[in-house]
Structure 1
Amino acid sequence: MSVSANDNGIDDVDQKILEALAENARISLKELAQAAGLSSPSAAERLRRLEERGIIAAFTIDIDPAALGYPLQAIVRVRPLPGQLHVVQRIIQDTPQFVECDKVTGDDCFIARLVVRSMAELDTILDKVAEKAETSTSMVKASPVKRRLPPLSRQR
């Protein structure tokens, strides 16, 4: 088996480690070593180097918002009114129901994901934002592609 690195400096062993962690961030070091074909000390060293290089930024969990009482999700496109960009950004950051937000180019400045318990809660949150921005909201029906790793090897 060749262990050459691709353009991003990830070799086949690193790729196996990242794929195993993406599948289960709580995998034991012993299981991670087995998945990558390494000894436990070698796997630990590889893991440490991936963290040092900033490739692994955190180990996290995937929580189902519906199981926590948030059955509704919305994607909200936000266009702040003139001079309100930083105020709107602060409102989004300070509202815990906004679970994700990207600052983007184009007509809108922010695209955010919002979890809520009810349509009334959605209205209450959007009313706070609407005082400072125009919004366009789409309810999420399903997520056919969950957050996932980008391709780790060069696609041809």
Structure 2
Amino acid sequence: MTAYSLDATDWRLLEALQRDGRATFAELARTVAMSPSAVTERVRRLEEAGVITGYSAVIDHERIGLPILAMVRLRYPTGNYKPFHDLLASTPEVLEAHHVTGDDCFVMKVAARSMRHLEETTGRISGLGAVTTSIVYSSPLERRPLVL
């Protein structure tokens, strides 16, 4: 895959959209000192190039009853990933899953209602291999926009 070449204006637009995905084209135009139509075209090009892959809401998990956040590492003993992908499809508590190097094969971010709920979820995951769970105390940096 070839990297898309971004200029300084593209980076400023991307930074603004990462901070506020609901910004209007007029607001973005003011940010980068361009016309709204030029900004609309640039954003469209970034979307078509796959640089911008979507827009979403950031949800506070505690406010919706999922106060426990954990990082779950899985040592997966086989190269057949279908059972793992099936588990991901049927386990909405898993918010992210990353195939990684090292002793563990996968690292997952899991949200749960309670310790019992987390135990049930990690129990299902452990059916595929050895699991190590780390409870998140706090997140001094939850997400950071990519900037130039």
| TM norm structure 1 | 0.87
Q: Where does the alignment leave 5 or more consecutive residues of structure 2 unmatched?
A: none
- Per-residue deviation, 1:86: 2.8
2:82 is equivalent to residue 86 of structure 1: yes
Return the letter of the residue paired with 2:94: F
Q: Where does the alignment leave 5 or more consecutive residues of structure 1 unmatched?
A: 1-6
- Show CA shifts across 1:65-94 (max 9, x none): 111100000000001234664313321332
Counterpart for residue 60 of structure 1: 56
Return the letter of the residue paired with 1:106: G
* Aligned counterpart in structure 1 of residue 23 of structure 2, from 23, 27, 37: 27
Counterpart for residue 39 of structure 2: 43
Q: Percent identity?
A: 35
Over the aligned positions, Cα root-mean-square deviation in angstroms equals 1.6
2:12 is equivalent to residue 16 of structure 1: yes
| TM norm structure 2 | 0.91
1:77–1:136 CA contact under 8 A, matched in 2: yes
2:19–2:145 CA contact under 8 A, matched in 1: no
Counterpart for residue 71 of structure 1: 67
- Per-residue deviation, 1:148: 2.1
Structure of greater relative contact order (alpha carbons < 8 Å, 6+ residues apart)? 2
1:84–1:132 CA contact under 8 A, matched in 2: no
In 1, Cα distance between the equivalents of 2:129 and 2:80?
7
1:84–1:133 CA contact under 8 A, matched in 2: no
In 2, Cα distance between the equivalents of 1:118 and 1:24?
31
Between 123-132 and 7-16, report the one with greater CA deviation. Answer: 7-16
